[in-house]
Structure 1
Amino acid sequence: MKITIMSIICLIILVLIVAGCSNYIGISKKKASLNLETYLQREYNGRLVFSDLKRFFNAATMDPNMFGVLIFDKDIPEIEFYTHINVKEILENDTLPMYPISDLMTFDDLYQDAVKQYETRQAVIADFKNEIPEIIFSTETIELNFKRNLKPNELEDVTTRFVVSLNENFKELNTSFQFSLVIKTLTYPEGFIIIPLEIEDGKWQRKPYILSESNSDFNVLKTMVHKNIQAKLETPYPYYKITEHSKIYMDKSSLSKGAWLQYLEDKRITNEGKGKWKNPQTGLYVVYFDLDSKFIYRGELLTEENDKMSYVKELRQIIETIEKEGIRTK
């Protein structure tokens, strides 16, 4: 009798342990996948599919049934969104738990937002199809492939109007990312110039033109510039070495002249002791060049105290300096 009672008690304890572990471990990935497939088939007739299903269990959620997943349209993959779902409850409740309760955001709300974003992008593409044969939106870039070479004023005009169009549809485009326009031309089909777009006062604003590292002449120019800088540093500044960190601004008025800003590291700063760490990247050198002719005009050391500058102060100094040299950035 005692053995029977003990057996029952042990069985109950085992069941409780298994149940507790189940609550902690959460639904299996196989079951999560099956639940999501069932939900998508039921609600969207299989039009939507998913990938990158991964458990999202952390200190913030404390829910082992939470999964992150990429949802996309099977026929139009550009319609996509990433979200977090309680896959154990998705068949009964598709409210998204990672959003504020007051918002009551549902799975379909995100899907409709993704559809609206896609339709808006297509409308923008249609508006510019006669000027820009190929426009490709992605998460952080918008490729503008003109498939012809451009004059400076033409690029300025088209990109100005393009950004105006983006801002007119700011809400519908529904992104918190800061885009960059990647300009492609006949001569530079892999990438010519990058125009960063930063959000200011709820609108995208164009920033100075940057030479694309995908530019077919980039590596040739880089070798020339580094060789030139190294030669100029050898005698007066032997303690400096070139880093991989640089900025390359292009002149808006020519699309050929440019300024290569190269960051330099002071080899005398080793940070091997136990004292306060010091930033060894103290130097900033500028080289003025012409992309078309591969000609270097001149160069100069802008500062040996770049480590003490704020980002804003550094940018102001760079822009003021290269503008005086005729590199138009605004």
Structure 2
Amino acid sequence: MMAAVAAVDVFTGPDAGYLALFSLGPAFACVTGSIRRALLVGVLGLLLCLGVSWHDSLLGTHRAAVAVLSVAGSTAAAALAATIRRRHERELADVRSVAEAAQRVLLRPVPLRAGRMRIAVSYTSAAASARIGGDLYEVVPTSRGTRVIVGDVQGKGLEAVETAALVLGAFREAAPDEKTLQEVGDRLERSLNRRLSGEEFVTAVLAEIDADHTMTLLNYGHPAPLILRSNGAVEFAEPALTAPPLGLAVLGPEGPIPHQVELGSGDQMLFYTDGVTEARDSERTFYPLADRAFLLDQDDPDEALETLRQDLVMHTGGPLHDDAAMLLLRYRADPASL
């Protein structure tokens, strides 16, 4: 840029008055460069300004003095701006580190197996810079079977993360203690009622895997889990009645009624949040989860879930606009096939 200014000034002569434009060099250098680079570009701009002033026989004139002061001032401002930018970058890096640590505590690794169930999980946050969001999941082995929760907190940001932490903490305490899945749900409801206010809520699906691999489900206003049968058939585990999300029980109707799903060898159940089914492409078309369920038909559940996640990202053509959590359960009658 400064070379172009020098060339134009030499070509057009001293009357055009391009000397002050040398200040653009350090001004742009601070946008992405370091403090040192901004100062080096500023010194180079100053030398070019003096050289062109000498060529134009303007050294010692008011015009040259103003141009030199402009370049010097821009260099000082560029160095200050680069200093502030680098400080903000370090602060952002610290925030990301804290967010990643919080995410690891909030969403701990789930067990790879529960009885004859193989488990895989995937989480993609819409807040890519923070890597943290309001979707939640947990798998807790108990003496009564394995209990699962997948949910989605209304809203985004730190408040959503705080609410997700509250739900997960309550579930981790209630799942091993309560006799029935409904009692677990009631305990979550009470915990949220003490914390939430206004119209805040959490959609969630609670599941209990029995010893015979019958799945008992409680759906609190959440998207119904997808079932991929071993023969390739796809269905959704829709509840008979729609129930309100957690945190809105006082508004009625009554809470969800447990319903059961029988899983055979080779069947899979996918729990997910609405960040999956509400993801849109450039033509505003929702992601066709049922049509893409065949991607889960792979030997390794983790690879299958990652393939589905990549297909979801390809559908949107860019970053997701909402958090997307997926938890896959695969039943195998033969333990050797897990």
TM over 0.5: no
TM normalised by structure 2 equals: 0.28
TM normalised by structure 1 equals: 0.29
Question: Larger Cα Rg: Structure 1 or Structure 2?
Answer: 2
Greater share of residues in helix: 2
Greater share of residues in strand: 1
The answer to which structure, 1 or 2, has the higher relative contact order (CA under 8 A, 6+ apart) is: 2
